[in-house]
Amino acid sequence: MSKIYDICIVGSGAGAGPIAYELSKAGKTVVILEKGPWIKTEDFTKDEIVSSRRSVYTPNLKDEPQVLEKKNSKGEWIAESNADGGRDFWNGNCVGGSSNFMSGYFHRMKPKDFKLLSTYGEIKGANIVDWPISYEDLEPFYEKVERVVGVSGKVVSHSTLEPRSTKEFPYPPLATNIVSKWIDLACNDLGYLSVDVARSIISKPLNKRNSCVYSNYCGSYGCSSDAKGSSRVALLNDALETGNCTILPYSKVYYLKSNTDNKVEKAFYHDRENNKQEISAKVFVIAAQAIETSRLLLLSKSDNFKNGLANNNGLVGKNLIFSGGGLGSGQFLKQDFSDKDFSALMVGGLFVNRSIQNWYEINDTDFGGKAKGGTVDFLFEHANGIRKAVRQKFDNGRLLYGTELKDKIHSYFTEQRKITFEIFNDWLPTNDCFVSLDKDVEDKWGDKVARIRLGYHEQDIKVGNYLGEKAKLVLEKLGTKNIKLGVSGSAPPNLVAGGCRFGINPQKSVLDKNCRAHDVKNLYITDASFMPTGGSVPYTWTIYANSFRVADKIKEEFN
């Protein structure tokens, strides 16, 4: 008889790592099925072509397309496959998943985020609910992430600071550029509070991991010092050292077979040579990132689950959410600063790490009274050279070339530095944002692909603009020029959650409060799929924390 593992995990990113780490340390046999390759630290380099301009860490869309549904000007939903190119919602397919490529801006959710409905009330057209757990339930695990995955930062007291069980971060804040001080001063003048942003980047060594070397190429790049808190480096390496954890790269799971007792027995996968294989386990954990997790459940139909595994209430794939908000920017022009200041500003590698949370809760009659707001994070434009140069091609829609283009590129690289801000606000869950299976389009293995409807709620735009207008004032105060703001309902592919929301009521949720499927006794989901609402921050700290929480529940089950 073939081996029966204690735990089989699908995916190896942020949602998977804590399960593998905890359960293998607890002596359980763990197997991880990961569809992508195993890229080791030494193979992550600062090659812009590989990291940012071609599909290397993500699949070729010809092989693994997705179908995107968008509203046209008449209000009709139009579906289009991206097999021939276009936007896609793949983020990082390799051992460690997208956590290898994140920038590691880490924020906790705040207590009120767990009670959005009871705090702020209903919003028409949005499926807002309270979470079945509270901030207090998750706090110990946020703290654990700080220690185990490694989070650096400085605690600054402010009106919406989350209650903490420890006074300080275990890793001191990373070094910052002179601009951070300028932001502090600008905010002070405006009556805002600029606060340090925590990062999932260690500022001093931890076991075999080095501290950050300020490579200047962080987001979208794998880390060569192992300072970034990817699941691969921070958790899976330790899990492997127990001898209880096996990682199978190039193993794309396409079906979960459940029995009449409503338990998953086997995961079926395509291996490196495209042969079909199967693995048996006592407990199955899915963490394939929100869209693919829903897709896998929908693909896993059986007699008891005719509409897909754990989907007898039809909620799998529903209430998909992203991070709402947008982006603003301004340019520091050389001519406006002393040589000394401009040189200090141009120093690469150092972080900005400042955010404003003054409007996490909006209380403004002009806005319409009390409402949920969000976060503004400041950062420099990414250092990618090709990207920066390519963006100089146009001047108000006119194509530049020749010396005119070259002069503009040269000036852009040497006579200015762009600072940006990112706005994070809730992407309200609606009936117009969900994952289903496309009826026609299949991937290279013949499995139906995800079809993603990308609707959003107007409130998301309203809040985003409110925050953006405030943040623009900071850029003005800083003396930047060409200030721009873009807030839209365009979904950021890398900040995705929902699709299998957790809750108390089995009729209204897919998972119970411990992220176990209501209907399937040995199936857990530990990526961001469980989140019914997402808070006004990026998700990964919460994904890690929740996965540690669920790991404890699974351990309890075993005991």
Partner 1 sequence: MKEIKEKSIINSLREPFYFANSKLTRKQFIRGLIVAGLFTQIPISSCSNKENSFVEDGKLNNEKLRLLTSIQEILFPKTKNSPSASDVNADKYLLWILSDENKSTKDKKYIIDGLSWVNQTSIENYDKDYLNLDSNQQNNLVKIISDESWGRDWLSIIITYIIEAVLADPLYEGNIDELGWKWLNHNPGNPRPRKEILYGNIKETLANR
Ligand X SMILES: Cc1cc2nc3c(=O)[nH]c(=O)nc-3n(C[C@H](O)[C@H](O)[C@H](O)COP(=O)(O)OP(=O)(O)OC[C@H]3O[C@@H](n4cnc5c(N)ncnc54)[C@H](O)[C@@H]3O)c2cc1C
Binding residues for ligand SF4, rule: CB under 6 A, are 201, 212-215, 218, 221, 223, 225, 227-228
Distance from chain centroid for Cα 183: 26
Take residue 556 and report the two structure tokens written for it. Answer: 């309890």
Map the footprint of ligand X across residues 212-231, applying CB under 6 A: 219-220
Q: Which does 558 bind (CB under 5 to 8 A by kind): ligand SF4, partner 1, ligand X, none?
A: none
Position 288 contacts ligand X (CB under 6 A) = yes
Take residue 381 and report the two structure tokens written for it. Answer: 């434009």
Size of the site for ligand X (CB under 6 A): 40
How many Cα atoms occupy the beta-carbon half-sphere of 332 within 13 Å?
Answer: 25
> What are all long-range contacts of 169-174, with beta carbons under 8 Å and residues at least 24 apart?
169/198, 170/146, 171/146, 171/202, 171/203, 171/204, 172/203, 172/204, 173/203, 173/353, 174/199, 174/201, 174/203, 174/212, 174/214, 174/351, 174/353
Position 539 contacts ligand X (CB under 6 A) = yes
Query: Quick one: 117 or 405, whose CB is closer to partner 1?
Result: 405
Q: Which does 305 bind (CB under 5 to 8 A by kind): partner 1, ligand SF4, ligand X, none?
A: none
Cβ 355 to partner 1, closest distance in Å? 12
Q: CA 83, CA 61: separation in Å to the nearest integer?
A: 5
Count of other CB atoms within 10 angstroms of residue 187 = 21
Q: CA 390, CA 109: separation in Å to the nearest integer?
A: 37
Span of 27-35, 180-188, 313-321, 469-477 interacting with ligand X by CB under 6 A: 27-35
Q: CA 22, CA 165: separation in Å to the nearest integer?
A: 21
Which of 66, 91, 237, 357 binds ligand X (CB under 6 A)? It is: 91
Map the footprint of ligand X across residues 293-332, applying CB under 6 A: 296
Cβ 411 to partner 1, closest distance in Å? 10
Q: Which does 253 bind (CB under 5 to 8 A by kind): ligand X, ligand SF4, partner 1, none?
A: ligand X
Cβ 60 to partner 1, closest distance in Å? 5
Query: Quick one: 336 or 395, whose CB is closer to partner 1?
Result: 395
CA-closest candidate to residue 539, choices 14, 159, 9: 14
Query: Quick one: 120 or 412, whose CB is closer to partner 1?
Result: 412
CA-closest candidate to residue 176, choices 142, 146, 199, 192: 199
Query: Quick one: 117 or 327, whose CB is closer to partner 1?
Result: 327
Span of 97-105, 172-180, 407-415, 480-488 interacting with ligand X by CB under 6 A: 97-105
317 Cβ contact partners less than 8 Å away, ≥ 6 residues apart:
294, 295, 297, 298, 434, 435, 436, 499, 500
* E strand or H helix at 279: strand 276-286
Number of residue whose CB is nearest ligand X: 13
Phi, psi at residue 438, to the nearest 5°?
A: -75, 140
Query: Quick one: 233 or 264, whose CB is closer to ligand SF4?
Result: 233
Q: CA 509, CA 493: separation in Å to the nearest integer?
A: 23
Give the orientation angle of helix 135-145 with respect to helix 540-558, to 10 degrees.
100
Query: Quick one: 100 or 529, whose CB is closer to ligand SF4?
Result: 100
Query: Quick one: 133 or 346, whose CB is closer to partner 1?
Result: 346
Query: Quick one: 95 or 212, whose CB is closer to ligand SF4?
Result: 212
Which of 28, 35, 382, 453 binds ligand X (CB under 6 A)? It is: 35
Contacts with ligand X, residue ranges (CB under 6 A): 10-16, 33-36, 91-94, 97-99, 101-105, 219-220, 252-253, 287-289, 292, 296, 494-495, 527-528, 538-540, 543
